[in-house]
Every structure is written in C-alpha cells, then in structure tokens.
Amino acid sequence: MHERTIAELAHGLRAGEFSAVEVAETFLRRIEALDGRLNSFITVTAERALEQARAADERLRRGGGGPLTGVPIAHKDIFCTDGVRTSCASRMLDSFVAPYDATVVERLRDAGAVMLGKTNMDEFAMGSSNETSYYGPVRNPWDTERVPGGSSGGSAAAVAARLVPGATGTDTGGSIRQPAALCGITGLKPTYGRVSRWGMIAFASSLDQGGPMARTAEDVALLLGAMAGFDPRDSTSVDRPVPDYASELARPLRGLRVGLPREYFGEGLEAGVREAVEAAVRVLESEGAEVREITLPTTPLAVPAYYVVAPAEASSNLARYDGVRYGYRCENPRDLEDLYMRTRGEGFGDEVKRRILVGTYTLSAGYYDAYYLKAQKVRRLIRDDFMRAFEEVDVIAGPTSPTTAFRLGERLDDPVTMYLSDVYTIAANLAGLPALSLPVGFAGGLPVGMQLIGRHFEEGRLLNVAHQYQLATDWHRAAPPGFE
Amino acid sequence: MMEWEAVIGLEIHAQLATRSKIFSGASTAYGAEPNTQACAIDLGLPGVLPVLNEGAVRMAVKFGLAIGAEVARRSVFARKNYFYPDLPKGYQISQYELPVVRGGRVTIQLDDGGEKEIGVTRAHLEEDAGKSLHEDFHGMTGIDLNRAGTPLLEIVSEPDLRSPQEAVAYAKKIHTLVRYLEICDGNMQEGSFRVDANVSVRPAGSHAFGTRTEIKNLNSFRFLERALAHEIERQIEVLEAGGAVVQETRLYDPDRNETRPMRTKEEANDYRYFPDPDLLPLVLEESYIEAVRAELPELPDARRARFVADYGLPAYDAGVLTASRELADYYEAVVAAVGGEPKLCANWVMVELGGALNRAGVEITASPVGPEALAGLLRRILDGTISGRAAKEVFEAMWAGEGDADAIIEARGLRQISDAGAIEKLIDEVLAAHPQQLAQYRAGKDKLFGFFVGQVMKASGGKANPKQVNELLRRKLDAGG
C-alpha cells in the first residue's frame, strides 16, 4: 500500500479497492514504527486523520469526492492549521495553536486530502539542513547520519521514507527543491503568486512560496492543482486561472528547447552530481529535446542579494514574536525591555537570531541604500537574465544542489558554506520563477536532483518535462533501504 | 528687546470613517469592549496578510482633490519598524517615501479679515496602533487592540504658520474640510482628529529655522492654542537666557498648562523603513481619480463665497454658517422653508439656535428644533403674528419640546395685537389717562412720544404690534394737534 503514489491511491480509493481509513491507518502505523529514526514529524494528528478518512470514505461511498479524496498528506509545520499546534519548529511557537487554516490547508482539505500531521523543518524555514529545528534535526532516510536538506526537510524525508505519499513545503531560497534533491523526491516551487501565502508563516514575504512535494511529477501536479489559485486574502496572489496540470503531462518533449546555464556547471559542483545531471539531460535529448548551453551572467550575485533581502524581510516579519500576545514568553519579566530581550533571546534559535541581526543591520539608516536597495536592483538584473534566456529556451536545467546530502553537523558552524547549498536554487526565488527538482540518480549511494526552471506560470511545462523523464527512468521509484 | 517670530507646522491624524479597518475586515466602531474588534490580522497572528481597504483609498483621494493636491498615480506602503506592546506586528504599515497625496493648499481666514494660504506637504495613509492602558492593572499594562489597524490619514503642513491663532485657524480648516468630505467624524475627544505641532522660534526677519520641538497630545483647539503659546514663550525665554532649544518631543499637560519633555529616552529612533512586501504598490487609474472627483461635495470655501453672493450675508456670517457642512445645510433648509429673508434666518441660526446648542452642548444634527420648525417660527415674525421679543420666548418653548411655533403662540397667547381698532382704543384710553403729558407733548415736548408708546404697549400686555402702535399714535397725536 505505502508504495503507491497519490495517483494510484486516488484511483484505488475511487475503485473501492481499499478505504481511506485503511490508507490512513497504514501510513499512521508507518509513522509510528519508523519516524523514530527520522524525526520528520513534529505533530501527528492521528485522530483527526481517521476522522477525515471516515468522512472521505462516506463521500466516496456516495460517489462523490475530489481528485484527492482520502489521500493522506502532511503539512510543513509552517502552515497554520485550525486547532492544531503550528510551531514553525521554534520554541517561540511551541505553544501556538492557530485559530485558522492556511489557504493551502483549506484547499487541500476541500480537495479531500487527509492530514496526517505537521512535518519538521528548519526553525522559521531558516536553514538548508533541517538542523535548526527546536524539535531536533531530521535525518535523511538514505543515510540517517546525513541531513535531509532544508528547510522542508521533514516533508522531504517523510515522503522519501513512504511515511506519507505527499506533503506541502515552502521555498524561499530552495527550501522545497534542495531537500527534494537530497532525499530523492520531486518538489515544485511555483511562480511567486501562484499559491496563496495566507496562513503560511512568513520568512521573507517577497520570496516565500508554498508548493507540493511527492515522489512523482504526476503526484506533484495533482497536489498543485488543488493548492494553486487566486486568494483575495493575499494581495500578492495572482488572479489567473489554474490550468489542468495533469492533462499537460502527456505532451511529448519533441522540440522542447532546454538550456544549460554554463554558470551552473562550474566550480563547487561535485563530480557525481554533475555526471547524474548530464546523464539526465541526455535522457531528455533522447526524448526529442534540443539542448543548448546558455549563460546567466548574474548567477554569482544571487546568493549575496538573497542574503540581504531575505534577512531584511525576516527581521521585520519576526518582530511580532514579542511575548505580548501569544507564543513563548520569558519567566517573570522585570520590565518591557526585559520581556522583549529574554523572550526573543530564549525563544529564537541561533540561525534565526543571526538572520534577524543581519536584516536589522541592512535596513538601518545609512546602510539601506547600499544593501537593501542595491539587492533589489540586483534582483531586477537576475530576472532580466532569465527573461533573455527564455527567449532562446523553454526550460532551464541544471543541478538542484552542488552536493549530495552532507553529514549532520558538518556545516552548522560554517554558515557561508551552508548558504552555498542553495547557490542554484536562490535565483528562481529572486526572479519569482517556477522551479522543480526531480531525482535523476545517485552519487555515492545518495540521491541527486536535477532542477528545471520555467517561465512565469509555466509550472505545467516543468511537470510535463519531469513526467516524461520519469516515464523513461526509474530513479523516482527507488526506496531508501529500510523504508521500502 | 529682540522681536521673535514663531514657525509652526502641524501633523494632523484624521481617522478615516470607514466601517472596517484599513487592512482587515474588523469593525472600526468606537467604544467596544477591549480586544473585541481585533481579528487575526489586527492581532498580528503568524501567517496573516494585509489587504488594502478601498474605502480608505477613496477618502484619501477625496482629501487630495479637495486641497488641490497631486493624487499620486502610484504610491507605496512601507513598514515602519519599532517595538511597542500596542503595535502587534512590530511594525506599522504607513506610506513613507511615496504618499498618495502630495502638495496641496488651504486658505485660512485671519483675525484681521485677511486670508493666508497654507501649504500641505503631503497626506498619507497608515494604520493606527492599539492602546496601552496603564490604569487598573496593578502595576501592569493592559493592551487594547480594537484601534489597531484603524485607517488614518496623516496630513502634514508646511511650516507656514506664524502664530498659535494661525495654527488653530488651519487646524479648524482641515477639521471642517474632512467633515465636509465625510471622511472623518472629527471627534477630538475620541481621538478621531489628533494634532501634533512642530514649533520653533527665530528672530523676526530671519529666514533660517530655529531648533524645533514637537508637541503631542493636543486634543482640542483650545489646547493647541494654549500649548503653542506656552511653548513659544518657553523657547524665547530659553534663547533670551542664552540657552539652546533641545530638539525633542514634548507633551502638553492641560491641567498645568505647560509642555514637558516626554519621558522616553532620547535615542535616535531608526525605523528601518522598507516597502511592505505583502502589499503591491497602490496604483490609481486616472478614471478612478476622476470618478472620485465627481463625488466631491461643494467645499467650504466655495459655499462660503456663495453665501455671500447669493444671500448677501456678511463674510463673517458666511464663515460661521459654513464652518460645518451640517450647519450650512441647516441654514439653507431654513432659508428654503422661509422662502427668503436670508439675513433674518442667519441671525436666528447663529444667535438663538447657536446659543441654545452651545449651552446644551448639542450638535446641530441633534437639535431639538429642526430647520422646518425654526422656519415656522420665523414666518410668524415676518407676517407680524408675533413680535421679535415674543419669538424668543416661543423659541425657548420649542427647544423645550412644547410643540411647534403656532401651537405655542396660541397656548401662551403671544399673538400680537395688530387690529387697528383695538390698538386705537388702547391709545384713546392712554391719552385720556394722561392729560398732563398730552398737554406737554402738544406744547412741543416731542420726546414724550416714547412715553405714550410705552404706555400703550404696557396696556396691551406687550402684545400690541409696536410698528402699528407707532403709526396709529403718531396719526392720533398729530391729528389732535
């Protein structure tokens, strides 16, 4: 049962091969039995899940239900869920129970999905290894001494380990794609504005985007179809019809123009990763795609620009955690300043504090023009680079991450190396473009991901390319030993 | 002794009269139980997002058009970052570099009858914070977030004002304007219209600015005037004693009529403004601006001029009557119902009605005597049914709710005696009763005429039509001569 994809589960449920309750129980048992090795869940909502599964069965019995009715999923613990703790993996929100659902949560529930629980993540989505969580690090199911990537590491590990067939993630600089790559699954960061940010706890508002994570492109398409769409509660969400992503999957790749940015295959890229990605590109070629080298000259500016913009916005977004209204509050504050200092000093972890400090600095009088304003100009240049490239090619392909999963603790004391984990993923956030990671093989026994970047709102194209690749290959079927 | 000149600029926060908040659907109604009108957005819960209230934008545009300002086609909301317990998100959303209204002017009337143009630098949209309550919490502070997210229009003047009187005239002008436009209820006690003043002094004739202080907590025009007068005096004293004015924020204490530095530590606040990434730039189409322009009511200056031109009122009367839209509407309703006599109507609205409203502390809209009722009374003066003096008594009875003018005139027997026969009879009696005075009058003591008028009025119980008494008495005395 747990080897089935979302598409297969949905089909089996509608055909009456098994019930939603049976499906939910199967996955809840796996979480119970196996997650001790991974720590991929912060909260498991077994009772609620079974309740939702029973309701799904009732709907299915009456011949109703949507494309996801009875399909279990998990939400990254950054999405607010009415009546369930939403911690953002921070001590600050350890006690926070949201009084409302995020739009993404609402839409997936309306599509019939059954929520099994909330997945672990880097604290406030700040990290690339899932080691900054207040609830402890998540381990990579392919090698539990290694990180799953981050910040959506819990979702990636849980999906890879077949604890749940699909999950939500959020991606500010690679937080869906990089863990998808390191755990060997498929994950999509949609176009900025495609998926509502309402109820998704903000890290860097102009970059954050929620998206789906699953084992196959087809499953990602099914989840995205439910998640995407205009939301009047999010002023940055875009009022544009949602295409039927599943129906676009079958399109052949003949004539597809694929660009390989020279800058994505240079220094710092592990040989094994390069080989796997190059092999994957050859598969696309054999499917009829035309591959050409392109150049994205502003690539080296992406990481520095990101580490100005993201912390700046974060420093403001996280100001609300002050111990006054909800969340963590220090014991016996002497006065207001003490309340602020100790609440925030004790409630936030080191990486969050580092970014708040950096962001506060770059927004300060006298530095704003030199940092924030300049970074925004760089963003424009990066976007222009992509726009030029997309005149020549339809999708851009390259490695998702320069390396495979690294060891726990290896980069914790070296933030700059950690930040470089996202060297290929950050540009898509800065430009607001959709980007997807799919598994394309292994290096040293660890999964390698290939990233596909598309034009704005061309998620369908990315899913189509990934699906065609997955029809031709089996990498996405590989299960981590011990989690088969 | 050196002559000093004050330089004053005002920042006015007008609470916009939208039903819901600027970025959420929660109600803006005043006076609810603490924290009952704060939704997830106002509380700054994790994951919430602001959505701009179009009603607030429309009101800001109205104001911009009314002062002849540029309404920006593109303006931007920024975040002003600072920590305070009644600021839920840790930042206030406010327009900073690119406000929606840029550069306008208003004309104020000076005491000497002259006029002066005052520049309005900008007006921008922002959200209000909540309230910190320091009483009743036993050494703790209570936070009420009902007000958090209420839309404000911050109206910033140029430093064009030169005296407390000019500052008050300007503040009143803006107050009148926002109420004409129906974008703010103008209630200063409830904080719907708040004034902060920036003030400095300099030697008369100098063009450089002195060091300024900012005075907060000015919740009435009287306090504004007194606080400025006090602060100007204080600054002059400091400078004349050889000292220097410290740039600081001062709080006005109306009980002691003084300003004093606010107790906050003097640190340079760095608000780390940056454009709010949760909100798109506010882009206004020309067609939208024009549609709002078409909705504008007649503005106070235009109405004032029309009152002078059409009704022949003195400029002073026109100014008083147009000070609020409701008063002007009332006046025009009275004139329409009477069918003319604008000066008589003006006197009654300003003096009798105005006085009664003032004494009772009642707004014109809540007047127990409506314009139709007042017109009914004025018609009885005009047709001679009652004397002006009796009319005042009738008005008082109307105010007390005793009914309409006619009913009161009947009930109290205030109808004037205008029957010539009845008045002649009274005259005959008076003349017969005072043969000595009559003889003196006829001998040339003309000023006794007034004595006879008085006697006749007295004999009528004050009800005889004085005009008729005069005419008939004159005729009788002259005929007899």
Q: Who wins on pLDDT, B410 or A75?
A: A75
Chain B positions touching A206 (Cβ under 8 A) are 277
CA angle A459, A460, A461 (to 5 degrees): 90
- What local confidence, expressed as pLDDT, does residue B163 receive? 96
Domain limits, chain B: 4-288, 298-412, 420-480
In a domain, A72, yes or no: yes
Mean pLDDT of A406-419: 86
Model confidence pLDDT, tens digit, residues B182-220: 999 999 989 999 999 999 999 999 999 999 999 987 889
Question: Closest partner residue to B46 among A80, A364, A372, by Cβ?
Answer: A80
- What local confidence, expressed as pLDDT, does residue A252 receive? 97
B81 to chain A: closest CA residue: A316
In a domain, A337, yes or no: no
Active site residue: A129, A151, A152, A421, which one?
A151
Model confidence pLDDT, tens digit, residues A325-370: 999 999 999 999 999 999 999 999 999 999 999 999 999 988 999 9
Q: Please return the burial class of A393, using the count of CB atoms within 10 Å of its CB with bins 0-12, 13-18 and 19+.
A: buried
Hey, what amino acid is at A173?
G
CB spacing of A368 vs B272 below 8 angstroms:
yes
Chain A positions touching B45 (Cβ under 8 A) are 80, 98-100, 326
Angle formed by the axes of helices B448-459 and B466-480, to 10°? 130
Chain A positions touching B85 (Cβ under 8 A) are 322, 324, 336
Q: Are strands B115-127 and B151-157 parallel, antiparallel or unpaired?
A: antiparallel
Displacement of CA A198 from its chain's centroid (Å): 16
CA–CA separation, A202 and A207 (whole Å): 10
Q: How many residues does this entry show for chain B?
A: 481
Split into its structural domains, chain A has a count of: 1
Model confidence pLDDT, tens digit, residues B242-266: 999 999 899 998 888 888 888 554 4
Mean pLDDT of A378-388: 98
Q: In the annotation, is A151 catalytic?
A: yes
Question: Closest partner residue to B91 among A96, A316, A324, by Cβ?
Answer: A316
- What local confidence, expressed as pLDDT, does residue B481 receive? 45
Q: Looking at the domain B420-480, which fold is it? A: Arc Repressor Mutant, subunit A (1.10.10)
Active site residue: A19, A40, A76, A421, which one?
A76
Active site residue: A87, A133, A152, A175, which one?
A175
Query: Nearest CA of chain B to the CA of A358: how many Å?
Result: 13
Question: Is 70 exceeded by the pLDDT of residue A239?
Answer: yes
Model confidence pLDDT, tens digit, residues B74-99: 999 999 999 999 999 999 999 999 99
Model confidence pLDDT, tens digit, residues A154-185: 999 999 999 999 999 999 999 999 999 999 99
Q: In the annotation, is A374 catalytic?
A: no
CA–CA separation, B186 and B374 (whole Å): 27
Model confidence pLDDT, tens digit, residues A139-162: 999 999 999 999 999 999 999 999
CB of B388 within 8 A of CB of B421? no
CB spacing of A316 vs B43 below 8 angstroms:
no
| Nearest Cα residue to B217 out of B206, B203, B231, B204 | B231
Query: Can you spell out the DSSP letters for B285-334?
Result: -HHHHHHHHHHPPPPHHHHHHHHHHHH---HHHHHHHTSSHHHHHHHHHH
Query: Nearest CA of chain B to the CA of A192: how many Å?
Result: 12
- What local confidence, expressed as pLDDT, does residue B388 receive? 81
Question: Is 70 exceeded by the pLDDT of residue A114?
Answer: yes
Residue B272, chain A, CB below 8 Å: the answer is yes
B79 to chain A: closest CA residue: A316
In a domain, A473, yes or no: yes
CA–CA separation, A194 and A125 (whole Å): 20
**Which helix (H) or strand (E) element contains residue B195?**
strand B193-203
In a domain, A423, yes or no: yes
Chain B positions touching A100 (Cβ under 8 A) are 40, 45
- What local confidence, expressed as pLDDT, does residue B265 receive? 46
CB spacing of B277 vs A313 below 8 angstroms:
yes
Q: Which residue has the tokens 């504004």?
A: B224
Q: Could you check whether the bond before residue A151 is cis, i.e. omega within 30 degrees of 0?
A: yes
Residue B204, chain A, CB below 8 Å: the answer is no
In a domain, A13, yes or no: yes
Question: Closest partner residue to A312 among B48, B274, B280, by Cβ?
Answer: B274
Q: Write down the mean pLDDT value for chain A.
A: 97
Contacts of A85 (CB under 8 A, 6+ apart): A42, A43, A77, A93, A94, A95, A96, A97, A118
Question: Is 70 exceeded by the pLDDT of residue B480?
Answer: no
Model confidence pLDDT, tens digit, residues B304-360: 999 999 999 999 999 999 998 999 999 999 999 999 899 999 999 999 999 999 999
**Dihedral sign of CA atoms A351, A356, A359, A365 in order:** negative
- For residue B26, the number of C-alpha atoms closer than 13 Å in the C-beta half-sphere is 23
CB spacing of A316 vs B81 below 8 angstroms:
yes
Q: Which residue has the tokens 């860097």?
A: A204
Chain B positions touching A98 (Cβ under 8 A) are 45-47
Mean pLDDT of B262-282: 83
Query: In 10 A of CB A271, how many CB atoms?
Result: 8
CB spacing of B46 vs A205 below 8 angstroms:
no
Model confidence pLDDT, tens digit, residues A280-314: 999 999 999 999 999 999 999 999 999 999 999 99
ipTM of the prediction greater than 0.90, yes or no: yes
Residue B139, chain A, CB below 8 Å: the answer is no
Chain B positions touching A192 (Cβ under 8 A) are none
pTM for the model stands at 0.90
How would residue B464 be classed by pLDDT, with cut points 50, 70 and 90? confident
Q: Kindly list the distances between the CA atom of residue A360 and the CA atoms of A93, A106, A202, A310, B269, in Å, as whole numbers in the listed order.
A: 22, 34, 16, 11, 13
CA–CA separation, A325 and B37 (whole Å): 15
CATH of residue A144: 3.90.1300.10
Mutation for testing the B interface, residue in A322, A368, A376 having most B CBs under 10 Å: A322
CB spacing of A233 vs B277 below 8 angstroms:
no
CA angle A58, A61, A63 (to 5 degrees): 115
Q: Who wins on pLDDT, B424 or A41?
A: A41
Chain A positions touching B97 (Cβ under 8 A) are none
In a domain, A27, yes or no: yes
Question: Is 70 exceeded by the pLDDT of residue B374?
Answer: yes
Question: Closest partner residue to B91 among A233, A319, A326, by Cβ?
Answer: A319
The pair of three-digit structure tokens given for residue B137, joined into one six-digit string: 């919490």
Provide the H-helix boundaries in A197-244: 217-227
Sheet of strand A290-294: strand arrangement: A41-44, A114-119, A72-76, A166-171, A209-214, A186-189, A435-443, A446-454, A395-399, A257-261, A290-294
Determine the structural domain holding residue A223 and report its residue range. Answer: 6-258+392-477
CB spacing of B278 vs A198 below 8 angstroms:
no
Question: At A223, is the secondary structure helix, strand, or coil?
Answer: helix
How would residue A318 be classed by pLDDT, with cut points 50, 70 and 90? very high
CB of A161 within 8 A of CB of A126? no
CA–CA separation, A399 and A435 (whole Å): 12
Dmax (CA) of chain B: 101
